[in-house]
C-alpha cells in the first residue's frame, strides 16, 4: 500500500512521540518517522531554549532518529516473531503498519480505578513474562517503559509497540540488571499507578536477573 495524503487524512486520529507520527485506524496504526526538524521541535515542545541547548539539539535529534531505524533493522535481522511486534508490515523509508492495541499503562490505570488488584497483578506478571520472551529472541527494550511501549490486543496478547528503544547488544545488560534499571524508568517513577509499584518491583526482581537472562538469551545471537 502506497503512503498517500489521502491515506493519512483517512486516519481516525493522530498521535506520536519524539520519533514518529502515529496514524490510528480501526484495527491498525501507521507509523511515519519524523524529520530531524520535527524531532527537535518534539524535544523542546516548542519552548524557547538557550543558545547552548540549541547547539545540542541536532546531535540529540540524530541519535533519536538513528535509534528508530536501528530498532527496525534489529527486529528484521533477528527475526523476532511478528505476533510479539503487532504483526508489522514494513514499507519504505521507515514507515510501517502495526496492530492497534491498548497500552499497558491504560489497562493498569483502569484496573486501579476499579480496585481490581488481582487483575493488575496478573497483567504485570504477563508483562514480565513478555519481557523474558523478548530476551529469548535476542532483544530487549532498554528503557523498561512498558506502560507506553507495550500494549494488549483484544485477545489479551501483549505486543511491543516501540522498536526505537530496542537493543540486540547484551554487552551492557549486566549493569542494567544489577542496578534495577526498571526502577529508574519513566513508567515506574511517573506513569504507573503508585500503588502497583511495589507489586511490579517484586515481580521484576525475581525475574529480571542475570541468571535468568543467561538462561533464555539465545547464544546464536552472540553479543550483537
Please tell me which residue, 222 or 145, carries the higher pLDDT value.
145
Within this chain, do residues 83 and 47 fall inside the same structural domain, yes or no? yes
- What is the tens place of the pLDDT at every residue in 168-224? 888 888 899 999 999 999 999 999 999 999 999 999 999 999 999 999 999 755 443
DSSP letter for each residue of 175-205: HHHHTTGGGGSHIIIIIS-GGGHHHHHHHHH
Domain count, the chain: 2
User: How many angstroms from the chain centroid is the CA of residue 7?
Assistant: 25
**How many whole angstroms separate alpha carbon 134 and alpha carbon 222?**
15
- Mean pLDDT within 119-146: 95
181 and 199 both lie in a single domain: yes
Whether residue 109 is found in the same domain as residue 208: yes
Q: Are residues 110 and 214 in the same domain?
A: yes
Last residue of a domain, one of 84, 99, 114: 99
Phi then psi for residue 204, to 5 deg, are -65, -40
Range of the domain at 146: 102-221
Q: How far is CA 164 from CA 41, 66, 73, in A?
A: 18, 8, 10
Amino acid at each position: 500500500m502506497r503512503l498517500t495524503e489521502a491515506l493519512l487524512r483517512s486516519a481516525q486520529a493522530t498521535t506520536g512521540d519524539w520519533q514518529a507520527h502515529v496514524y490510528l485506524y480501526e484495527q491498525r496504526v501507521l507509523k511515519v518517522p519524523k524529520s530531524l526538524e520535527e524531532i527537535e521541535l518534539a524535544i523542546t515542545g516548542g519552548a524557547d531554549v538557550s543558545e547552548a541547548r540549541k547547539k545540542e539539539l541536532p546531535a540529540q535529534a540524530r541519535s533519536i532518529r538513528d535509534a528508530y531505524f536501528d530498532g527496525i533493522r534489529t527486529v528484521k535481522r533477528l527475526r523476532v516473531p511478528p505476533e510479539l511486534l503487532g504483526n508489522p508490515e514494513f514499507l519504505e523509508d521507515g514507515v510501517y503498519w502495526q496492530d492497534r492495541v491498548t497500552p499497558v499503562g491504560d489497562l493498569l490505570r483502569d484496573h486501579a480505578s476499579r480496585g481490581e488488584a488481582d487483575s493488575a497483578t496478573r497483567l504485570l506478571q504477563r508483562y514480565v513474562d513478555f519481557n523474558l520472551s523478548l530476551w529469548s529472541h535476542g532483544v530487549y527494550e532498554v528503557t523498561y517503559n512498558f506502560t507506553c511501549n507495550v500494549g494488549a490486543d483484544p485477545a489479551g496478547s501483549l505486543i511491543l509497540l516501540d522498536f526505537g528503544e530496542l537493543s540486540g547488544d547484551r554487552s551492557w545488560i549486566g549493569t542494567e540488571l544489577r542496578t534495577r534499571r526498571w526502577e529508574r524508568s519513566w513508567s515506574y517513577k511517573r506513569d504507573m499507578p503508585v500503588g502497583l509499584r511495589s507489586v511490579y518491583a517484586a515481580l521484576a526482581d525475581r525475574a529480571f536477573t542475570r541468571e535468568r537472562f543467561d538462561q533464555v538469551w539465545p547464544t546464536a545471537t552472540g553479543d550483537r
